[in-house]
Structure formats: C-alpha cells, structure tokens
Structure 1
Amino acid sequence: MTVRCALCRCSARSLVVDIYIFLIICFPVPLCLMHSYKFFYTASSEVPNFPEFVIVGMVDDIQAGYYDSNIKRVELKQDWMKKVTEDEAEYWEWLTERAVDHQQWFKVTLDILKRRFNQTGGVHIVQMMVGCEWDDETEDFIALDMKTWTWVAPQQQAVFIKQEWDKDKARIEYHKNYLTKDCVDWLKKFVNYGRSSLMRTDLPTVSLLQKTPSSRVTCHATGFYPNRAMMFWRKDGEELHEDVDKGEILPNHDGSFQISADLQLPSDDWGKYDCVFQLSGVKEDIVTKLDKREIKTNYVNPMNTVIPIIAIIAALVLLGLAVIGYKKYRGRRRRLV
C-alpha cells in the first residue's frame, strides 16, 4: 500500500498567480475499489470573498460534510449523516478539532511553499485530498512508502519536503493509523448509514444531440447513479476509437451524474452506428441507435427566418403603397368636388 502525493504548479505571469496543488491518495483495502471516503482541504491567500481554509468531506463522491475558517465548525450535508451524529457524536467533535489543527498546518505549509518557490504576493492555493480511493494515473511529486514509513521524493523539488516530513514521526504515525485502520472503518460505517442512498442504482435518460446539421452528434446520458459508468460508440457492433471524443463523468446538482460521447458525422449508412451506455451493477446495456429522426437540436435554419422576414417586408411595402394610393385617390376626389 502507498500514499501518493502529486504537486502541480501553474502560473499566469500577467496576473502574478501561482497555484500549488497537493493530492494525497491512499489505497488501503479492496473495499475502496467500490466506495470512497475523501477529504478535500483548500488553503488560500488573497482570494477575494473566499475563506482562507475549507474542508469538504465526500462519501462516494457525494458531499457529506463541510468546514471553513469562517464558520469554524463541521456542517452535515446529507440527512443520513444525522444518524452518524447520533451514534458517533464524539467523532464530529474530534473532527472539528482536527480541522482547526489542519487550518494552522496548512497556513504554515502555504508560507513555506511560497518562500521555497520565491513567491510573495498574488493568489496562492494549496489543495490536498486524502482518503480511501484507488487511482493509478497520478504523477507522483512525493510518496509515502507504507513498508518503510518514509517519504520518497521522485522530483528534486520535493526533497526538502521529504527531509522535513521524515523528521515528523508523530505525523507519520498518524498517517499510518489513519490509512490502515480509521479510514476504512469510517468508510464502512458511512456506507452502512447511507446504504439506501449510496447503494441505489438509477438509470439515465439518454439523448442524441446536435448543434448544427454539420456538427458532431452527441450521445448524452444524465441522471444516473453511481458514477461507475461507461459510454462509447459502436459501428456494426464494434467499439469505435477514431472519430469519437469521450467526455468525463460530471456531477449534477441533485447528486446524480452525466456523461457524453461525440461522434464525427458518418459518411456511410447511419444505421450501422449506435451509442452504448453501461452502468456498474446493471447487466443490460442501454443502446441508442443513430437515427436522424431522434436527434434533438436548437438549430434554426437561417432560410426559415429569412423567408418570413422577406414576406413581412413585402407586406409592409404593399401596405405602404396602398396607403399612398388611397391618399392620392382622396386628394383627387376633393379637387373634383
């Protein structure tokens, strides 16, 4: 098992903005392949109208708790979390105390990083995520070897952090206890408390969308849960890799998720193509045939608006001529009388 950290630094020189992002991910037991328990810590300086320190707690990518330096307390974001409060009240007191401690630690860490990278003014952000989750794609900045319980620095810029963190035996012992026991124990409890919500399966609404007649066709699925899903295009039953852009799974405001996949317009028979949506735990795929009659669009043909406009202009011109003719006719009648 390892705890991995990644640091990404990007800067906008004209705005004097440098962002430092730490990502800590733990891989304790196979249970985490199915569920996740994560905390997102964000410390910042000189960000207008934003707390200097924020913690967001997530269970299976659903926000379960929140803390910031303004309110200075943990707030529950799910009804089923109230059951946790009833049974484990001391946990939330301990969590609030830890949040205050983390707030001070992040402030010191942010100051150290600014000095190390010769940064002073401007917006700076340090963000860390810690919890039980599997991720094998993150590039390491610094890693904790859970066999020797020492930090490993793959990058030169991380050496100074390794040296400082290796000295902090108390923090290493805390990580050791949390990552091998507490994280998994609490994950199991949260999944049990929120079973009716976290263990549900919601099928999506799948639609075919297109901006213009010449643009790509988008297969869009929304309203599904959980977020373990896949979407792809097929031709003659074979998955397509070329001419296809797959989107990421994104959250909806109601706790469900959405995903999309774009297909370049086929030059051959559209009947050969279909969109496939797969949801973890559901045996049957949702297959949507590529049919022009089923595509939804907000596109309006310009000619459909030009012709009515021309007709209106012509009618106004005729009306104007009729008014002018009528006035001339009345003028002649007055002279005859």
Structure 2
Amino acid sequence: MRSSVLLLLVGISHAFAGEHTYQITYGCEWNDETGKTNAFRQHGYDGEDFLLLDLKSDKWISPIKKEFKAKERCNNATIRVAYWKNYLKMDCIETLKKLLTLGKSSLEKTVSPQVSLLQKNSSSPVLCHITHFYPSNITITWMRNGQELKNVKVGNLLPNEDGTFQKTVTLQTEADEWRKNEFSCVVKHQSKTFRKTLTEKEIRTNNETSAPVDMTVVVVPVVILLSLLLIIAVIGYLVYQRKLKSGYVPAKPSPSEYESSVQSSTEA
C-alpha cells in the first residue's frame, strides 16, 4: 500500500518578554489505493501544540487544559473555520493529486542495478558493488553453496550524480575457500533478482594488466608504407631508363654561364 503526503510548514517568531516561537503547520494526505484522505492544521508555541483544528466537529481544540482567549476567538470566527475545512478537505487534496500526476514519471522510475565483483589484490576481501539502481530499496546477500552468509560487511547507501544509488557488501573470506565452494552475490531490486557468481573471471582487480599489443596493428601499416615507397622507386627508375633509350640527355650549362655563376659567387 502506498500513500502520498503533502505538508506545508510556516514558522513565525515573535518576541514577548524574551524570544518565543509561534508555529503553524498544516497539510493533507491521500492514499491512492484506498482513496482515504486525512488533513490537519495546528498551532504551536515554543515547540508545544496548543491549538488543533478538529475537522469532524469544526472546532478548535487544545491539549492544554487551561482555557484561554485564543481558542475562544478562533472558534468564534466561524467563517475562517469553514474556509480551512474546505481548503484542507478539497483544495489541498486536489493540489496533491495534480502534483503527483506531474511527478509520476519520477516517482515510478525504475533503474535496474549493475552488479560487479571487485578486489584490490588477490589477498584482499571481495566486494559486491551494486550501482545505478533506483529506487533505493534493495536487498543484497552473499551466498555460500546456497546458504546466506552472516560474516559480511554492509556499506552505506550512497547517491550517484544522476539520481541513482550505489551500495557495497564485502565478503570476508579467504581465496582458497571461495575457489573450493560456490559463492554468489544475490541482489533483489523491484521484484527482480540479480546473481553474480564469484569466479576469477568475474573479479575485477587493480592488478589487471593491460591487454597485449596486437603487433599486426603496427606491422601492417609499415609494410604498406614500404611497399608504396618501393613501387614509387621502381616507377621512377623505369621512367628514367625509358628517357635514356629515347636519346634524352640532360642539358649542361655553357662555359660562359658557368663562368658567370662562379664569378657571381666569388663577388658575393
């Protein structure tokens, strides 16, 4: 059964022969399955209730036995009593329903958890890390051969930046023991069950080495580049040989041009 509550709070401070606190609280409640409603309005003074609006009798009542003028004055204001009764029983409930309709997508949002087994090194405890789940209600247990373990350390529920949550449960056991037995981290969330069996393949550790470099990724481009250079050299050689066969002779500078260039370099 799920109920929805809307509370409005107003606090006012007055000073009478020192500082005192006068507080008004009012709100309403609606159960979206049964349709039952509830509402209240009450006044407090220095942290204690002294006036309550009884919506059945349409009267202000007080837990203080001594009569005082404030209660009489409030009960004499029948129009104001009728206003608050109508607001709390009608307007407040309707406002609450509208707000719940607007926030329905957030209230009913469900995000399934991601379960991982973590370990700092081979001699460290194994952590069952659950993250990115919503809502926050979740059950996490470590199982040994189908039996629930008690020697586990349950971490605090922590929020993620995206509005989801995370939690960690640590398994206190030796590596030799979990290698010889079946250990599983069982997570129950929103009537769904997630199980992660403890094996060396499933564990993520800080000692994980980076994947070996695939030499084909390096060798293949180099071979292609060398092949291109070789093809270019062969083509250049063939072109040069063809020119020689056709009687092509590179031009030589004339003696006068040669002397002029030498003289220019000397003068410079």
More helix by share: 1
Q: TM-score range by the shorter chain?
A: 0.3 to 0.5
Bigger Rg, structure 1 or 2: 2
| Bigger RCO (CA 8 Å, 6+ sep) | 1
With the length of structure 1 as denominator, give the TM-score of the two structures.
Answer: 0.38
